Chain A
Amino acid sequence: MREGAFIGVTVEQGSGIPAPRFEAFSPEQQVVAHAMRGMADLETVSEDEMRNATTEIVQAAEAIKQESRQRARVTVFERLKRFSKTKIGKGTLLLSGLNVLHLEPVVKAAGAHMEEVRSHREATSFIKDLPSQEDMRADLEQFYGKVILDSELPKDSADAPSISPSERHEKTQGDHLYAENHLEKMKHAEKTSEQDIGDFVTTFLPRQWTASSAIERFGVAPQPIPMPKEYGIDGHAAGVCHSGTGSLPARIEFAPGISVERQGFVHLASHEAAHANDWKRSSDLSSGERLTLLYSVTKRVASKTRMKFDYVEDIKNDDKQYERLYKTTEYWAKLMEVALTTEAKTEKGWETEFLTKASQRFVNEPRYHDAKEDLSIVRWYLNTVAPDFKPWEALPLRQEFQIGRAMGAADEALASIPPGAVKVFLSQPGRMHYSNLDERFVDGAGYELSPETEAAWEQMKELRLQIEHVTQPTAGSGALDRGTLIRSAERLVSILRGLKAYEKSLLEEHIDRASMVMPDSTMNGDSL
């Protein structure tokens, strides 16, 4: 008689109908054990199958328990809220003096909490609607083929062997994922340091995404990044995600000349970071969750009622299975791009903006209902990988960072141009000199700024003052809101760029003339 043990269920095999012997069961194990009763040949069921079956049941039961707890909490909070409005409830709170300070946040949190519960409920129901893992894998294998599927969902991805830095560099060269070809939109952008890029992305991406274990580095490529041949799209990419194999972190590079001030940057960084954290590369997903993610995104890509992105539609490859994979990979990145670049400040607003943006991308008419399927994927994913991340809280952080940079740029500009200076002199070829008209006007010795430039300069100083005013802690109710502020800051930076360009053109156009008319004796003080 042979005895085979499996997760607490001991099964005797060999003679007649097997008689399971049960030891120390959880309810879930009992279910599996129950299923085993009456089976003629237990040899046909592998341990893996049994383990998967148990895991599925445990996960589903856990989801029910969690949902039930959340519902119970809502009930308690709703009642507490009602109670706090009754005469005695209110009276107790008031009479308790200081303690009101303790309880009030609890009561206030009730509203926010209910939203969380709703989102949690949606996330769990999303899982409940999916087929079994076995069926999902079978469907995916049919869609992509076994080779691709095994490569996308490696079974032992968590156990990748450790490798040296040089090997790592070599390995991370292998698998590139590209953002769409919008490099043209970024021409003439002012350069941003890698440090600034790294700091900026943490303001709007989940911290789990930007952890060094997920993305090793955000950098700038030394050369323009060509689009991959596999995509069948010509031109250059604005960003690339070099993805390693196994548990290696990814490396993201942006096209030369990238600037965090560019409106497209937030989209671009979200897109690339999404690649680094998908079903194949995320270190925060279990194998079942990887399968769930790939399956649900694939289902959306295969659907006729889904979002259309030119970039995704343009992908062409002779091998149709690979073409599908590339489209799915890019659809996922686009999906997260939409989710992480909203301007909303509340969860409800975020949801509405996502659905509106997504439904506008449907081919024929807005499909609010279908867009909800995309939202469900995003919700479930964020709930699983980054439960503490709230996309609707990112905007103020993003703006604060941009304001900081704009103010830095403004400071630099104002420090280099003395207030009130209306004349520009060239001290020597390649060097500018500004002077105050009242203090040091030398007739015929300088070059006067054009009225447009003078106006722009004045506007810039005004904007700088506005920004200073609204960022003061004492700023009153008349202060600008953050949206206006960031627009002012952006305008300021654009004027600054205009001035710099003007400065350059002055140098180029008038260098000879200035060096002739400007005597050396007047060159003191404010030279740059």
Chain B
Amino acid sequence: MSTFLLFANMSDFFGEVRLRDGALDHVMLTGLGEEHIGASVKDWQTRGVPVRREIFGTKDRPSDIVFFQERVQPREKTFSDALRLWCEDHQITVVSVPSHAHADCWNMMLRLPLESTERFAMLSVIAQAHADELIAWRQFLNEAVQAVASEEQKAHASIAKLQQKAAQGLAKRFAQRAA
């Protein structure tokens, strides 16, 4: 199982495509991805990915180069190559996530409050990291996620406190008015 992450403009995350032995397993798009390539993805699933092919020479004209379009079905093993070509034609960057460990890192990065360009930059580095380096990256990301979660908890507590205080204040104010 491998995963392709699709990005536009080196930052906007469009979604992920999971592949099994090169064939399509499933696709998950973000809102942005749905907006830009949602229709195309539906088309892949029903009719296959359109790819450019070229042949050199035909029977009648041996010196010509002929281009034509071919559809590669999602169940075919060559689907992943076809998808890469399609993305290239549509200026979409594909970052391959080769292992479960890489995917885990990506999932943790999604939970961090990063800008899309920052996330892309970090992913570009992690995608090429070796196994032993990945251990350190995972540890770093795990700690960062925990720290962020702790911040979120604090914020929730502050908001709850604020709401309680505000409710009491309002109740008092309105009650005084009513009296």
Binding site for B on A (CB under 8 A): 27-28, 30-32, 34-41, 44-45, 53, 56-57, 60-61, 64-65, 67-69, 71-73, 75-76, 79-80, 83, 86, 88-89, 91-93, 95-96, 99-100, 102-103, 105-106
Contact = CB atoms under 8 A, between A and B. Distances in A.
Given A79-B140, A92-B125, A103-B121, A35 B170 contact: yes
Given A37-B171, A96-B129, 9 more contacts: A28-B163, A39-B178, A45-B177, A60-B162, A64-B158, A64-B159, A79-B143, A88-B132, A99-B124
Interface residues of B, number: 39
A106 B118 contact: yes
Nearest to B114: A76
Interface of B is mostly: helix
28 contacts: A27-B163, A32-B167, A34-B167, A35-B171, A40-B178, A44-B177, A53-B166, A60-B162, A64-B158, A65-B159, A72-B113, A72-B151, A75-B147, A76-B112, A76-B144, A76-B147, A79-B144, A79-B147, A88-B132, A88-B136, A92-B133, A92-B136, A95-B128, A95-B130, A96-B124, A100-B125, A103-B125, A105-B121
Nearest to A53: B170
Contacts of B174: 35-36, 39, 44-45
A64 B162 contact: yes
A96 B128 contact: yes
Interface in B121-159: 121-122, 124-126, 128-130, 132-133, 136-137, 140, 143-144, 147-148, 151-152, 154-155, 158-159
Interface of A is mostly: helix
B55 interface: no
B154 A68 contact: yes
Interface in B67-111: none
B167 A80 contact: no
Given A72-B113, A73-B113, A88-B133, A99 B166 contact: no
A278 B152 CA distance: 36
Contacts of B121: 99, 102-103, 105-106
A103 B124 CA distance: 8
B155 A68 contact: yes
Most chain B beta carbons < 10 A, residue from A35, A65, A89: A35
Closest 9 CB pairs of A and B: A68-B155, A35-B170, A102-B121, A88-B136, A72-B151, A35-B171, A75-B147, A72-B148, A83-B140
